[in-house]
Structure 1
Amino acid sequence: MESYKSFLERVPVFDDFLNIANSNYFVAVPSDWALILTDVKGSTKAVQAGRYQDVNMVGAASITALLNEFNNRNLPFVFGGDGATLLVPPELKKDAAAVLRRVQRWAQKEFGFELRGHYFELAEIYSSGQQLLIGKYQLSKGNEIYQFRGGALSVADERMKSLNGGMEVRPARLEKQPNLTGLSCRWLPLKTQRGTVLTVLAKATGPKEAQFSEYGLALAKIREILGGDFRNACPTQEGALSVTWPPKTLFAEAKALPGFYPLRVGRTLLRTFFSFALFRFNISVGGFSPGRYRSEMISNSDFQKFDDVLRMVLDCSNTQADKIEKFLLEREQAGALKFGVHRSSEALMTCLVHSASQNQHLHFIDGAHGGYTLAAVQLKRKATS
């Protein structure tokens, strides 16, 4: 039997985001794998109350904890703003559920959030006639994020929300801290450099055989509007990257550490001051270079991804945003897709840093003031109308 590591090594890699529409870059996940979905219950209200950074922190925590538990950065996942999607191979199923329970307890204790978790055997989803295919989108050498397609995630999400199938995962009673090493959010919100931050969710609704042609058409048009290169609209541009001390997210980051809370805050103050000084005065230490790290942050940002829904957070001009919305509306009126959007003056970044000196870091991007969450509300309303 093929090991999960061998399987993941042969998943195709592509560096042009348009290739999410190309089936040649995707392979089917074996039916004995499991799928874990998480989301913050009541995230819309939390976002409206100004707690969007906390929502993002908790949304990224299950990813961080599982990668750390298995010491494997190559496990497939997608960050969704208020939650995550994770794939678990047979060898890790039992431990993965235990890790998720600890993250749920942590979210409840530290933030007062109910992090819902649902676990599905892929064989159960496949029995409905859907597939789960994955491909790797390369951000930079050694940093890849998985793209998911095939319809299985949509089915799992619907079943989770209706509690129809799968297994609901409930928080652990014990208060063992999940390993959240590397999870941080020290950077100030990324102010738009071009006019507006546009968060886009789009889901093709036409005949199944035509849906990926639709995604290809949409991506090609959006890229054209953005000047021929998606990177033109990446929110983590040099002019947007700014740090201060103490960081506004000091207490949120302290909550990710184990131990007595006042000591956690003290440790976080020291760690963030050291980081702030390096960037403020452009100090290189060992193999770490602030300038190189900033450049890597731009390439290692997940501002565009696909998990049966096209997700993008774009820093663009108001004119470009208007054109993108106009195009999406035309395709919606043609019955080809449904979409939700949200505009803000900033984007948020939550960081997962394995090694700052060896280009092993990933940056989760969301629109500020509830980008993905509020765009999803709009998309859901259209889908059910």
Structure 2
Amino acid sequence: MNFYKDLEPIRRPIKDVLAEQKLFTNFPDNWHVVVADIVNSTQAVKTGKHDDVNLIAAGSLIAAINAAKPFNTEIAYFFGGDGGTVIVPDEIVNKILSGLNAHKINSLKNFSLELRVGSITIGEIIKAGHELKVAKVEIGKGYNKSVVIGNGLKYAENIIKDNYLQDKESIEHQLLTIDSSELNLEGLECRWDRIKPLTSSLEVVCLLIEAVNFKNQSTVYRDVMIKLDEIYGEADKRHPITMNRLQLLTTFLKFKKEMMVRYSKWKIGHFLKAFFETLIGRLYFKYNWKVNDLKGQEYLEQVIAFSDTLTIDGRINTIVSGTKENRLRLLEYLNQQEQKGLLIFGHFVSTESIMTCYIENRNDKHIHFLDGSNGGYTEAAKELKPKLQML
């Protein structure tokens, strides 16, 4: 059960990890890939529900992480803008699915967003001729990231989508037996205002990049990472968030949405707690107070360091900030690689970032899921999908 927990974190840049196949290892056959993604997310974004899509998507990962927590183990997880994927041991997969299905019921009831949930074993993926290998990379103190190569997650997502369409009626019937008390999104917060880049000359770009041949993913993705560094600068330089742009937002709607996704109902106690925490938080950051041995500015530094700006799950999902000239240079490179038949890609340009947070504790255990505004990753996927269909 502790396969992933026992993996030694690799303290090297992701682009260097990609260069060495020996750093990646196979998951046990009895582990499960669990996928939760929002049905018709593109249409939801089009009707102005992008913030809700992001909140529900991040919530799916938080539901899975919380379900695993009592078992004192670790799971691999990947944020996708309109959903999330986790890879979990067999011993807890039913608990994970119960938590996600409770989140599914709540999302439909309170946000009118349908969450598609399903699973498949690693053994089934490998037996079908696909590959799935993982490395655990240390991004910062206490913050590790799963990096996956192979086409296994793509296959899992396709199978789960197909099965969902075929068995939707029976799946909906099974949901009637789900215990809504399984809903546990403790730690989910959405209290930050939309985050503009440092200057008006900068933009936010969401990128989805997929190697055409999964056998040479590592080489293709390493080359892309090197080019990103060359054009946009290292990860800290192209980060879409800066400290002086982080502003807590005290609006009734923000607190209400946080409550409805976490508890599925109005809770006056949570509202008052969140409201006063946010007011105090503003002062904490403004005057750099020290709380629990952590100053306000140090916490903001952690927010930036622990933000999920890059996911490699068989595909590169990344959000960056830079100039229009940076973007045009990168697109020129990506188009060249696409014409060579090495990769396909989708992108979307936003003016701001949006962020949903998972706070286990405020000292050193918190994760921040980022997306571009006005569609972000979901809009980037619209450009990618027709190219995928042509492969």
Q: Is the 8 A contact 2:203 2:322 kept in 1?
A: yes
Asked if the contact 2:355/2:369 (under 8 Å) is kept, the reply is yes
Query: What stretches of structure 2 of length at least 5 have no aligned partner?
Result: none
Partner of 2:29, secondary structure, is coil
Q: Does the 8 Å CA contact 2:256/2:266 hold for their aligned counterparts? A: no
1:34 is aligned to 2:32: yes
Tell me what 1:243 maps to. 248
Partner of 2:57: 59
Task: Give the aligned CA root-mean-square deviation in angstroms.
Answer: 2.2
* 1:188–1:260 distance in 2 versus 1, CA, 3 Å: closer
Counterpart amino acid of residue 354 in structure 2: L
Q: Which structure 1 residue ranges, 5 or more long, are not aligned?
A: none
Residue type at the aligned position of 2:377: Y
Deviation at 1:94, TM superposition (A): 2.0
Q: Distance in 2 between matches of 1:164 and 1:108?
A: 16
Classify the secondary structure of the residue corresponding to 1:335.
Answer: coil
Query: One-letter code of the match for 1:363?
Result: H
User: Is the alpha carbon distance of 1:209 and 1:34 closer, same or farther for their aligned partners in structure 2, counting shifts above 3 Å?
Assistant: closer
Matched, 1:199 2:206: yes
Q: Is the 8 A contact 1:132 1:148 kept in 2?
A: yes
Sort the Cα spacing of 1:164 and 1:6 in 2 relative to 1 into closer, same or farther, 3 A. closer
* Distance of aligned partners of 1:280 and 1:54 in 2 relative to their CA distance in 1, 3 Å threshold: farther
**Residues 68 and 74 in structure 2, CA contact (< 8 A), matched pair in contact too:** no
The 1:165/1:316 distance shift into structure 2, 3 A limit, reads: same
Is 1:122 aligned to residue 122 of structure 2? yes
Cα deviation for residue 11 of structure 1 reads: 4.5
Tell me if structure 1 keeps the 8 A contact 2:106–2:264.
no
The Cα offsets for residues 70-129 of structure 1, whole Å up to 9 and x where unpaired, read as 325731100111100001101112212211111111111221111111111221111111
Cα deviations by residue, 1:268-290 (Å, 9 ceiling, x for unpaired): 33343333342344332233421
Shift of 1:262: 5.1
Instruction: Name the CA distance, whole Å, in 2 between partners of 1:360 and 1:73.
Output: 15
* Aligned match of 1:368: 373
Query: What SS is found at the alignment partner of 1:282?
Result: coil
What letter corresponds to residue 54 of structure 1 in structure 2?
Answer: D
CA contact (8 A) 2:217 2:314 kept: no
Q: 2 CA distance for matches of 1:167 and 1:138?
A: 40
1:312 aligns with 318
Q: When you count helix as a share of all residues, which structure comes out higher? A: 2
Q: How many Å separate the matches in 2 of 1:27 and 1:150?
A: 11
Q: Could you say what secondary structure the match of 1:313 adopts?
A: strand
Name the CA distance, whole Å, in 2 between partners of 1:268 and 1:90. Answer: 36
Aligned in 2, Cα 1:344/1:7: closer, same or farther, shift over 3 Å?
Answer: closer
Contact 2:18–2:219 (CA under 8 A) maintained in structure 1:
no
Per the alignment, residue 275 of structure 1 pairs with 281
The AA in structure 1 aligned to 2:309 is F
Post-superposition CA distance 1:308-358 (Å, at most 9, x none): 11111001111101111111011111111100000011111111111112x
Give the whole-Å Cα distance in 1 for the aligned partners of 2:3 and 2:161: 33
Number of residue-to-residue matches in the alignment: 379
Aligned to 2:44: 46
Alpha-carbon distance change, 119 to 165 in structure 1, aligned in 2, over 3 angstroms:
farther
Cα distance in 2 between the residues matched to 1:73 and 1:248: 35
Which secondary structure state, in structure 2, belongs to the residue aligned with residue 137 of structure 1? strand
AA at the equivalent of 1:232: K
Counterpart code for 2:2: K
| TM-score normalised to structure 1 length | 0.92
Q: Alpha-carbon deviations, 1:50-83, whole Å to 9, x = none?
A: 2211111100112112222232573110011110
Pair 30,6 (structure 1): closer, same or farther in 2 beyond 3 Å: closer
Alignment of 1:234-383 (within 5 A): 234-246=239-251, 249-258=254-263, 260-261=265-266, 263=268, 264-357=270-363, 359-383=364-388
Partner of 1:184: 189
Shift in alpha-carbon separation, 1:282–1:315, aligned structure 2, 3 A:
same
CA distance in 1, matches of 2:328, 2:256: 37
Structure 1 residue 306, shift from structure 2 partner: 0.4
The answer to whether the Cα contact below 8 Å between 1:40 and 1:115 also exists between their aligned partners in 2 is yes
Identical pairs, percent: 26
Letter of the aligned partner of 2:59 in structure 1?
A
Does structure 2 conserve the Cα–Cα contact (< 8 Å) formed by 1:20 and 1:306? no
- Counterpart amino acid of residue 340 in structure 2: A
What corresponds to 2:2 in structure 1? Answer: 5
Q: Does the 8 Å contact 1:203/1:308 carry over to 2?
A: yes
- The residue correspondences of 1:33-182 to structure 2 (distance < 5 A) are 33-71=31-69, 72=72, 74-163=74-163, 171=175, 173-176=178-181, 178-182=183-187
